[in-house]
Homo-oligomer: A and B are copies of this chain.
Amino acid sequence: MHYPESLAKLIEGYMKLPGIGQKTATRLAFFTINMKEEDVSSFAKALLFSKRNLTFCTICGNLTEDMPCVICRDKNRDISTLLVVEQPKDLMAIENMQEYKGLYHVLHGVLSPMEGIGPNDLSVSSLIKRLQEKTNIKEVIIATNATSEGEATAIYLSRLIKPAKIKVTRLAHGLAVGSDIDYADEVTLLKAVEGRREL
């Protein structure tokens, strides 16, 4: 290794990120050295602050700096609907849509017998507790990913919630808007046919 120590450490730091190997890390490190000092220091601060300041909302499990999170705190949200997602990033994707006005619950994972992840490893019990406490929740929308684990988790949750006479729904599966039929995989196409609607 012929890099000065601080450069080597920077390359090492970049290599900890997903999808970044030695070549890319080296390129990013050299780029960093040529960046404006203030940009580098604000990036470094953002790294430290985000790690230190962000925690999970004790109510919904969203990433937040304050407790409860900005959504749970908002009096204007529709408290009769609860949307269940796997991860905070899924919640944020739905928030970016700017259409959904209800509340959220983040599971922090999916059921996966292969990886030994059961209901106790997810925030399932806190979800059930919320549903029991807030009798005003009328619909639970399960927005886990369209993977086999996501599907299994959705079915598991719906069986758990339905006895409480709460409506349980699942996001529609089908063709992505703007996509070509001949590029869609068979399962997606099957779901699109099954879920067809009258015009």
Contacts and interface: CB of A to CB of B under 8 A. Distances in A.
Interface string A117-137: 000000000000000000000
A81 interface: no
Nearest to A64: B4
A50 B18 contact: no
Copies of this chain held together in the complex: 2
A159 interface: no
A50 B89 contact: no
B50 A6 contact: yes
Interface string A28-45: 111111010101111111
Given A18-B28, A30-B89, A96-B2, A48 B39 contact: no
Interface of A: 2-7, 9-10, 12-14, 16-18, 26-33, 35, 37, 39-51, 53-54, 63-65, 70, 87-89, 92, 95-96
